[in-house]
Amino acid sequence: MLKCDKCNQNEASVKIIKVNNNQRQEMYLCRECAAKEGSFTLTNTGFSVSDFLSSFMNYPAQQQVVDAERPELTCDKCSMTWEGFKKGSRLGCAQCYETFREKLTPIIRQVHGQLEHQGHVPPLEGIQRMQRIKKLRESLQAAIIDERYEEAAKLRDEIKLLEKES
């Protein structure tokens, strides 16, 4: 028989896990001590999750840690936070993808198995590519005239790559 951690007399029938940021504490208590332990109610079927959450909010230790933590990453265009995204599974604006790029990347990889767009691109992308190719050609000409042949070769390869893409 597993004895209650608190009174060490009754049989432990309730397992309580407290999580404070990175600290995790497990306790095995009897029903009486569990009821005395915190602001959660025991029903016949067990605890309700929201009861746990609200009791964590009341712990002073939790408060101090939250204050000391650096401000949460926020999109400066629409004020969406990472927590907000986790809650609603929706992002707030296009800028969010830039703000949360690092955190989103593993999730996106898991959902799609890929990370690079391969489909239709906006027409402006095509125009931008043309402009870039034009600029590179001008640099290539200048490099040849100046007899900077190594640089010219690099530019020529870059142009080839861009032309292949279009």
161 belongs to the binding site for other proteins (CB under 8 A): no
117 belongs to the binding site for other proteins (CB under 8 A): yes
7, 53, 57, 121: residue in contact with other proteins (rule CB under 8 A): 121
Q: Residue type for 124, please?
A: L
β-partners of residue 11 are 3
132 belongs to the binding site for other proteins (CB under 8 A): no
- Residue closer to other proteins by CB (options 50, 89) is 89
46, 60, 71, 119: residue in contact with other proteins (rule CB under 8 A): 119
Residue 126 corresponds to which tokens in the numbers above? 């095509």
Closest of 131, 138, 124, 86 to residue 107, by C-alpha: 86
Q: Is 5 exposed, middle or buried (0-12, 13-18, 19+ CB in 10 A)?
A: middle
- 3 state SS of 74: strand
90 belongs to the binding site for other proteins (CB under 8 A): yes
| Residues engaged in binding other proteins (CB under 8 A) | 77-80, 88-94, 97-98, 104, 107-108, 111-123, 125
